[in-house]
Structure 1
Amino acid sequence: MINKPYEVIIVGSGATGGMAALTMAKAGVRVLVIERGPELEIKQANGTEPCNMIRRLIGVSTGNYQNQPQHPGFWKSNPLLYANKKANPYTFPAKSPFMWTQGNQVGGRSLTWGGITLRLADEDFEASKDKQYNLEWPISYKDLESHYSEIERFLRVHGNKDDLDQLPNGEYIGNLPFTESEARFASNIKEKLNLPFIHSRGFGANTDKTKWPRFSSLGSTLKEAVRLGKVEILSNQIVDKIVLNKDRKAAKSIIVVNQKNGERSELESKLIILCSSTIQTIRILLSSEESNNSNGLIDPSNSLGKNLMDHISTCRFFTVPIEKNLTNYSDKNNNHLLTGAGSFFIPIGRNRSTKNNYVGGYGIWGGIDRFEPPDILKKYKNTKTGFLIGHGEVLPNHKNTVSLSKSKDAYDISIPHISIVWRENEKRIVSEMNKMIELIINSGKGRIIPVNEILNIPFTKQILSKSVATKNDAPPPGYYIHEVGGAPMGNDKGKSVLDNWNRLWECRNVLVVDGACWPTSSWQSPTLTMMAITKRACEKAIIDFKD
């Protein structure tokens, strides 16, 4: 057990947990980070081929991995970084599946993060005031602007300052170049459709496998926090619930369960920060709430666990012809790997919503010649392969919920029951995104192809044909791994779970800073904004802490 004294407990060690730990450590506050999973060595986390592939196939055949094979990252990462569903169960309605991807290890899902860093715009915060939204952001873009900049400088992300209202500029070390196919594609799109076509923003490839990737908390925020000597990590511990003082005005401690021996412990702290990912955070709060504990947390809004959101997505693969003077970039140097920054973005934003009868915004991420198969395996010769993925905003809906199942896990902890469905507004966004994607591909001289025709291999075709990403309908909720909501921040405790500084209204020494605190989903990739919200809330907590 931990020997050093600590003043703050942070639950979770991923993107927000690392940011919280670093912010506290910089202020000289001693922190204990609790992580559900193990602490892996770099070689363990990376794994090797063919061992990783053997683990994938065994996991799929035994049912330990059910949703994970639907995600491209599963096939390029060590499958151990994707939590075993049987050991980490959850439930959902039979007709409304939810694809929950968990990353239970020190570093969390930051180890498998795609590494795209997009800011929300002022219009995204302001849009929540419209009548179609039942929740409203209590902060504006200005409240996060300086935090965005500091985080981007620290992480050293790539990007280009494109001066777009729907996607504010950031602090970048320069962009990663387009492939030649992408550059030609971009020229056609700008000329024919007058759409913004920009370098994606984020991280490049991690080429040094002896170091943690910079996009992970272990390679950036948590690494620096530990270096400062103020942070200790307690791994393999599941947080069951929060314990309050007798007057229920403040949290006293948390109850953790040791996964190795099942023993329960109570860890006291002056401040508790929940960063364990949206659904786990909601599960902890629900387990701590007064309906499940006579001396539990009070939620004046009665909205805890409601308004769960995820991005709705749609995907198309396509080919473009190789021009006569086009250099073949599919070489052994891997200069054009698909990464968060090694790709492109078409940020549509919100400006098409009114005339197209839907509410919200969307963006389209893509790449060409980033995962090119060998010519001998390609069905379509003399072409380059590309993809476009649209991801759109999902409106808050009180019927989309996380609750506690009657079932419990191996440690007698209630498991989450996740119930979320796409409504008509989301379906209209998918229809709009599909039309736009097809228009873009046609304008770029491309040809849409089924994903199972990328490789001319029968066995691969059978696997790819079952992918939810290839269907005409949107994949089920959870697929895009951008779940947010359930414990929203706000200015009115009758409508929100948290105040505008991410504190529980009736228990101010508990902060919720991961995706659970979002009132709306917006359309951008959320991780950078989660980190900015975390930094802002923790800096305020430090001031309160000292007072």
Structure 2
Amino acid sequence: MTEDDTPHAYDAVVVGSGFAGSWAAKELTESGLHVLVLEAGPPRSADEVPDRFVQDQGQESGRHARQDSAFRARHGDDTFAHCVDDPGSENGRLQMSRHVQARHPAFASRGPHLFVDDAQHPYQTPRDKPFFWIRGMQVGGRSLTWGGSAMRLSRYELEAPELDDCALSWPVRSEELADAYTLVEEFTGLHGSTEGLEQLPDSVYRNEPFALTPAEKDFQEAYRRPNTHPVPVRFIPSEREHHGWPGYTMQATALAAAESTGRLVLRPHALVTEVTVAPETGLATGVRYVDVRDGSRHRAQGRVVFLCGGTIETTRLMLNSHNPRHPAGLGNSSGWLGRGLMDHPLVTAAGVLDDYPHVAGYEWSARQRGLLVPPQPGGKSDVRPFGMWVTLQRLSSQGRALGSIDAQGEMLPYRKNRIRLSDARDQWGMPLPVIECAYGPHEERLYTAMRRGIEQAAALAGLRITALSEELTAPGLNAHDLGTARMGASADSSVVDSHNRCWDCPNVYVTGGACFPSGGWQNPTLTIMALSARAGRHAAHLLKKGSH
């Protein structure tokens, strides 16, 4: 097919319709601008998306079994294939075509159709460095499958000292993000409680937290440390709102708001392959994309371009957008594009509450019930802080009450952990991404610290541990891929500035997880949405002034 020679012009072109893309589109369209959103995957209907799942104890046991097998997995078609119970069954065929996606704990409960087909969207890793790239390539992106935990970063994460020889402090401070956090929280309607903890800043809550079980209340009283205490988990609700969409999806929130303005054009099945650049200025003029249904090639023009297609896809696109003005890839003058890939490592434990009966009326639902244990603030240690999610007395087995404790910590942004382009190409001619990612000495120490923290918490909770991770989750499995186009205060050491603008090409914004210079221990989604909303407003202001 030949490329369309009559591209349409928009104020902004947004690549990706997930958390970042939808919030950018909302702020841009509500500012009176005309926006094109390009999404590589198909549209979905509300009835294809289940409510946030409530699992029975059999499913909960399966969660630990899947995670434990993933810990020991090594990359390669033969090792992926061995996890398929019956390749001839429907479930077996789904696992074969989604051999990476099937490792994610939510794969079965959310629905395999909401995860990509790995056979159609391949990538490469070194055999000794497995990375499980979990993807939801569809309108709404991974907002259709995420857990919903929503927490602000504290000043401790934003001002992380550069004592690890690889960490970079954020170029923004808490007070600069406060308005954007509040905007997202008020719009999405968080559940939570005001606690006054410096290391876990309070959000704006529209809904009360769910009730705690007797065992959780006892644990909350028993677990007290200087300047910290367990708090009810903070999350975005799942009640179906806009046209039947669950409240945690972009179709129920930011994307719906953008569409309601009448200034949004949403184009699914549109895989962006390159950001186009004016040779005389080096500024972006738009994008090239392919319609994956028929292979036709198209261009779209925009005064600004927002790259919001997910961490790895964004970096892949920027690297592939090399040209005489940007010979090493768009925005890569610092050499940091593709570097510093991170995920949030987990240690999980499950067990029996011998002194507590099972009680009815308390739902179990991923991380949307129970308690969050924030770390103690400040102080220096040989490991970064971590948090723990504690769920007690919500499931039972043979009349015995069960519980679980998950610890989540920070992976450091090592320069050696990177995305690069392969010589091999996919069916659309795009170079495959090569993902090189492995834990380092810090993460080895972190596992020991998180395991010790879980064991201490379990003792206070009266939880007799029956299953405990023998090592950290493999990189990628937590689906918190971050870094590789990091924010910074200088063009010499980062890819984008404090407003998410590419240093080398300032009418390009990068607002997804790729912009994180470090990961913290908190789930990143609330920060991704806040950064994107803030960048959208910044771009709209400049566009109206005629600065773009």
| 1:386 to 2:419 alignment | no
* Kept after mapping to 2: 8 A contact 1:205/1:339: no
Q: By how many angstroms is 1:122 displaced?
A: 1.0
**What residue number does 1:18 align with?**
22
> Match of 1:365, SS?
strand
Q: By how many angstroms is 1:405 displaced?
A: 1.4
* Kept after mapping to 2: 8 A contact 1:128/1:520: no
Name the % identity. 29
> Match of 1:484, SS?
coil
Q: By how many angstroms is 1:58 displaced?
A: 2.7
Q: Deviations over 1:432-484 (max 9, x none)?
A: 0000101110121110012xxxxxxxxxxxxxxxxxxx640112110111111
Kindly tell me the number of residue pairs found equivalent between the two proteins: 505
**What residue number does 2:83 align with?**
none
* Kept after mapping to 2: 8 A contact 1:312/1:394: yes
Q: Which amino acid aligns with 2:97?
A: N
**What residue number does 2:244 align with?**
211
- Mapped to 2, the partners of 1:322 and 1:442 lie a distance apart of 12
Q: By how many angstroms is 1:338 displaced?
A: 1.3
Q: 1:205 to 1:214 in 2, by over 3 A?
A: closer
- Mapped to 2, the partners of 1:163 and 1:33 lie a distance apart of 39
Give runs of aligned pairs for residues 358-369 of structure 1, distance below 5 A: 358=383, 360-369=384-393
| 1:178 to 2:212 alignment | yes
| 1:496 to 2:465 alignment | no
> Match of 1:404, SS?
strand
Q: 1:81 to 1:46 in 2, by over 3 A?
A: same
Q: Deviations over 1:373-395 (max 9, x none)?
A: 5xxxx3xx442111111111111
Q: Which amino acid aligns with 1:507?
A: C
Q: Which amino acid aligns with 1:186?
A: Q
> Match of 2:159, SS?
helix
**What residue number does 2:370 align with?**
343
**What residue number does 2:302 align with?**
269
Q: 1:406 to 1:349 in 2, by over 3 A?
A: farther
Q: Which amino acid aligns with 1:328?
A: V
**What residue number does 1:44 align with?**
48
Q: Superposition RMSD on alpha carbons, in Å? A: 2.5
| 1:34 to 2:69 alignment | no
Give runs of aligned pairs for residues 127-138 of structure 1, distance below 5 A: 127-130=160-163, 132-138=165-171
Q: By how many angstroms is 1:515 displaced?
A: 0.6
Q: By how many angstroms is 1:184 displaced?
A: 2.5
- Mapped to 2, the partners of 1:8 and 1:195 lie a distance apart of 44
- Mapped to 1, the partners of 2:345 and 2:324 lie a distance apart of 32
**What residue number does 2:337 align with?**
304
* Kept after mapping to 1: 8 A contact 2:37/2:265: yes
- Mapped to 2, the partners of 1:169 and 1:193 lie a distance apart of 18
* Kept after mapping to 2: 8 A contact 1:313/1:390: yes
**What residue number does 2:476 align with?**
478
**What residue number does 1:525 align with?**
523
**What residue number does 1:467 align with?**
none
Q: Deviations over 1:86-120 (max 9, x none)?
A: 11111100001001001011000010010000000
**What residue number does 1:426 align with?**
443
Match of 2:312 among 279, 285, 289: 279
Give runs of aligned pairs for residues 283-294 of structure 1, distance below 5 A: 283-290=316-323
Q: Which amino acid aligns with 1:440?
A: A
Q: By how many angstroms is 1:350 displaced?
A: 5.2
- Mapped to 1, the partners of 2:456 and 2:379 lie a distance apart of 15
- Mapped to 1, the partners of 2:423 and 2:107 lie a distance apart of 30
| 1:536 to 2:534 alignment | yes
| 1:397 to 2:395 alignment | no
* Kept after mapping to 1: 8 A contact 2:496/2:502: yes
Match of 1:444 among 449, 458, 461: 461
**What residue number does 2:64 align with?**
none
More deviation in 180-189 or 202-211? Answer: 202-211
TM-score normalised according to structure 1 size: 0.87
- Mapped to 2, the partners of 1:340 and 1:442 lie a distance apart of 21
- Mapped to 1, the partners of 2:415 and 2:402 lie a distance apart of 41
| 1:256 to 2:286 alignment | no
| 1:240 to 2:238 alignment | no
Q: 1:534 to 1:446 in 2, by over 3 A?
A: same
**What residue number does 2:179 align with?**
146
Q: Which runs of 5+ in 2 are unaligned?
A: 54-85
> Match of 2:404, SS?
strand
Q: Which amino acid aligns with 2:316?
A: R
**What residue number does 1:119 align with?**
152
- Mapped to 1, the partners of 2:536 and 2:435 lie a distance apart of 29
Match of 2:111 among 78, 89, 106: 78
